[in-house]
Chains A and B, each alone.
Chain A
Amino acid sequence: MEAMISSPRIIHIEDLGLAFEQDGRRTEVLRGLDLDICAGEFIAIVGASGVGKSTLLRVLMDLAKPTTGRVTITPDPNAERPMAMVFQDARLLPWRRVLSNVMFGLEKTSLSKSERVTRATEALKLVGLAEMAARWPHQLSGGQRQRVALARALAVRPSILLMDEPFSALDVATRENLQDELIRIRAETGRTILFVTHDIDEAVYMADKVVALGGKPGVVRSNRKIDVPRPRRRGSIALAEIAQDVRIDITADHRDPDFVI
């Protein structure tokens, strides 16, 4: 992995451990997790349900405190915001209309009101919801809400974009369309993206590297570089072979008896 580092390291995770304490019982979710991510990389994180993917993102976003270890993040100082996140559930603010929801993160930047509107409108167009700008969140379908949440994160143009299963609630056509949009945005902006998904084919199609988490408590099982030139073809043999390897990484030598993939 060391040899691949070509651009500066933007995220450094060392010996990360996290345990939840409840009713006097301690549940270790992550233990001894090491991971380095370089600026501009598109990283997919895969792993079984409950392995700690969301927890890892929450730690990176400083929404949860690790029990052990160290996380160092050095975002691009020129970016308007260091980080933004798309949550697994959309989490729109119900008292704001769709456009205003997308403008939420922009209110932390120095942009003027009209620039914010322009930016938010662009982001909404990108996710195909420009005509829904004036609606209330409760007037949207689940998938539409998720796309608004995506627009809200994209609109702030963060140095690092964290995405927690952002496409899992979408139909195949919309999902594939947004996958390609995200690949295009990444190519254009060179943003660093951490993309959590349980869909291994999606991971290998989009990412530069696929990080497989496994075990209980969760650790990094593998960190594979996807050496397939872009533009890639969905379902190509090369991708399918890597996907198969990742599947094996996740399931290999597991200790948890009810571990399903």
Chain B
Amino acid sequence: MRLHPTVYAAAGLLVFLGIWEAVPASGLIQSSLLPPPSELPKAFMREFRSGLWAQYVGLSLNHYILGFLVGAGLGTMLGVITGMSVRLEWSLAWVVRLLRPIPNLAWAPFAIIWFGVDQANAIFIISIGVFWIAFFAALGAVHGVDRDLIEVADAFGFRSAPERLFKVLLPAATPGILIGLRTALGQAWMAVVAAELSGVSGLGSRMMQASSLLATDIVVVYMLTMAALYGIMDAGFMLLQGKLLKWKP
């Protein structure tokens, strides 16, 4: 007998939570080191009532959304343009090799000098991580466009760069661009925490603060908050992707 997939999903989640609950209860690990899930609602309510939760989540969402939009927007644009022009691609080859391997956190000192301990600082760091993912995805997607279809555009008179872009390249490259953006959607959350560890207020700074007070339950509350936000966004993204790619078999 085959049950509905959500039944399996719920069962898997329950088993996971059960094991998590059992480990501190058995005394294997102290509950101050690994707070059991049953204690989390209390911790969450405390944090929520004090208004801190909404404040920090709001700040982080702001960093996340702006960082994602800036990084994804610039990365996709530059990736597409680079994919359309071999000359530009040749020109950028070593610039990209020079900048690409620098981890986004390595920019933190500059971010502090340039933007101070400010929202812009976190947004900058997040957008760098997203930028490269979006850039390479868009570049690869444009390279992968079927040449025969570009020829169709040529044959029907769409020979200028903007015509080619909007008639063929962009629609044909959309699946590849979206794969990159979805990867970046998850990557950006890691960047949020990393960026906020450097002092900009948000989820990350609150988690650091809580862990230094050994309030591990609060740390876990924010971990789960992030997981939930990511889950919602990814599901929303999949919905959008389904709409954009409904032509796919």
Contacts and interface: CB of A to CB of B under 8 A. Distances in A.
A93 B167 CA distance: 9
A156 B156 contact: yes
Contacts of A259: none
A85 interface: yes
B155 A85 contact: yes
Interface in A13-27: none
B10 to A, nearest CB: 35
B156 A89 contact: no
Main secondary structure of the interface of B (DSSP, over half): helix
A129 interface: no
A93 B153 CA distance: 10
A137 B168 CA distance: 15
Interface in A91-108: 91, 93-97, 104-105, 107-108
Interface in B150-193: 151-152, 154-158, 167-168, 171-172, 174
A136 B155 contact: no
Given A96-B247, A138-B249, A91 B149 contact: yes
Interface in B203-249: 247-249
Nearest to B171: A95
B247 A87 contact: no
A172 to B, nearest CB: 28
Contact of B148 (A83, A89, A108, A136): A89
A128 B160 CA distance: 33
Given A136-B247, A138-B249, A93 B155 contact: no
A97 B248 CA distance: 11
Interface of A: 61-63, 81, 83-85, 87, 89, 91, 93-97, 104-105, 107-108, 136-138, 156
Interface of B: 148-149, 151-152, 154-158, 167-168, 171-172, 174, 247-249
11 contacts: A84-B156, A87-B151, A91-B148, A91-B152, A93-B152, A93-B168, A95-B172, A95-B174, A96-B171, A104-B167, A108-B158
